[in-house]
């Protein structure tokens, strides 16, 4: 909450829960003052792992993602990450004319004197006083927990939409694929909807849950969903949940 964003809808500040306005296909930019956190393709859920440098000069990396997460967690106004992250207007003012290179290694980012000074300046505005940069381990622990909660909720929502398998034969179920890959292996399961019979409707549902891969295939007039659950949270952070 409180992070500035820029989309085709216009400029704004994220609301409670990190909500922001966008149009389908938007590339949304996020910032604090003049500090560019990164940009990502708009969707219902965006995490630091999705953010690439705004200038597009390089791709997102695990270390960059963790450094962005550390920075945001450190600035949380009430220092209570369990209720989300709040960035205050004063922090934006103090971050005017300042920049950060999030692409550095975790250790170099921690040792960067400019980062240390900036963090001290921004956190000094809080009633609890200045704070040191959150460590990578602590940041990953929180980020992983947040991802696990998010994945659990998305899985619950998806489970509410699907019914029991209705394939006439196992071979028909096995034929369903995600893209060019078979839907199978560790962490994957097949689900066949008895209530959603429109491929367009299923596509709309699946596109709202980016953690879930999707396959559109009519088997005995039943639309199918192939849902892939990412690996445990920390591993998921490391590979940016590429199994989507």
Residue range 208-223, pLDDT digits in tens: 444 343 433 334 334 4
Q: What is the pLDDT of residue 216?
A: 38
Return the domain boundaries, the chain.
4-134, 162-239
29 pLDDT higher than 50: yes
**Per-residue pLDDT tens for 32-89?**
999 999 998 887 677 787 888 887 666 667 788 889 989 998 988 887 777 778 899 9
From first CA to last CA, the distance across the chain in angstroms is 26
What's the mean pLDDT in 183-197?
43
Most confident of 123-132, 167-176, 198-207: 123-132
119 pLDDT higher than 60: yes
Q: What is the pLDDT of residue 53?
A: 85
Report the alpha-carbon distance of residue 212 to residue 241 in Å, rounded.
10
179 pLDDT higher than 50: no
What's the mean pLDDT in 230-237?
33
**Max Cα-Cα span within the chain:** 65
What's the mean pLDDT in 7-36?
86
What's the mean pLDDT in 166-181?
36
């Amino acid at each position: 909450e409180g992070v500035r964003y820029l989309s085709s809808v216009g400029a704004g500040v994220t609301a409670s829960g990190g909500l922001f306005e966008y149009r389908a296909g938007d590339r949304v930019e996020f910032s604090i003052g003049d500090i560019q956190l990164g940009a990502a393709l708009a969707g219902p859920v965006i995490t630091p792992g999705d953010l690439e440098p705004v200038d597009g000069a390089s791709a997102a990396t695990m270390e960059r993602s963790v450094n962005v997460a550390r920075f945001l967690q450190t600035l949380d106004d009430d220092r209570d990450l369990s209720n989300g992250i709040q960035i205050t207007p004063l922090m934006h003012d103090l971050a005017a004319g300042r920049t950060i290179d999030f692409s550095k290694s975790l250790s170099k980012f921690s040792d960067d004197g400019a980062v240390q000074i900036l963090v001290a300046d921004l956190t000094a505005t809080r009633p609890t006083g200045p704070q040191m940069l959150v460590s990578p381990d602590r940041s990953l622990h929180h980020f992983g927990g947040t991802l696990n909660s998010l994945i659990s909720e998305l899985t619950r929502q998806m489970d509410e939409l699907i019914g029991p398998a209705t394939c006439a034969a196992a071979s028909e179920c096995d034929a369903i694929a995600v893209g060019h890959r078979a839907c199978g292996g560790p962490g994957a399961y097949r689900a066949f909807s008895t209530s959603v019979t429109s491929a367009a409707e299923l596509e709309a549902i699946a596109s709202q849950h980016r953690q879930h891969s999707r396959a559109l295939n009519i088997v005995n007039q039943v639309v199918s969903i192939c849902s892939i659950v990412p690996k445990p949270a920390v591993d998921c952070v490391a590979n940016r949940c590429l199994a989507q």
